[in-house]
Amino acid sequence: MSGTVNRLAYKPVGMLLGMAAGLLAGAVFRQVWKLTSGDDDAPGATDEDRGWGEVLAAAALQGAIFAVVRAAVDRGGATGVRRLTGSWPE
């Protein structure tokens, strides 16, 4: 029973953290892309003026940054919940 309550209590926190992670990851990606490529905008998949290599490199970089930021935010949220409740969220 306690696990179910803990899981339900963590769901809204997890959703908010997920949204924050997405926003943070997007901001980090834009800055990293600007520093590495010198261009303000990353190429989209249908950007006709950009080559395959640049489009795929941007997508890979964006995915990696998103995964790392999401994992860090999720882990930090779970650690915070443990501090508040004494148990790890599932």
Q: Kindly write down the DSSP assignment for every residue of 34-51, as one continuous string.
A: HHHHS-SSPPPTT-TTS-
- What residue numbers bound the domain in which 76 lies? 2-85
Q: Would 54 be classed as within a structural domain? A: yes
Buried b (16+ CB within 10 A) or exposed e, 14-40: beebeeebeebbeeebeeebeeeeeee
Q: Quick check: is 13 in a domain?
A: yes
Domain count across the chain: 1
CA 30, CA 19: separation in Å to the nearest integer? 17
pTM (2 d.p.)? 0.81
- Taking the C-alpha atoms of residue 17 and residue 6, their distance in angstroms, rounded to an integer, is 16
**For 5-9, 20-24, 48-52, which range has the lowest pLDDT when averaged over its residues?**
5-9
What pLDDT, in 10s, does the model give residues 33-76?
999 999 889 999 999 999 999 999 999 999 999 999 999 998 99
Is residue 90 one of the residues assigned to a domain? Answer: no
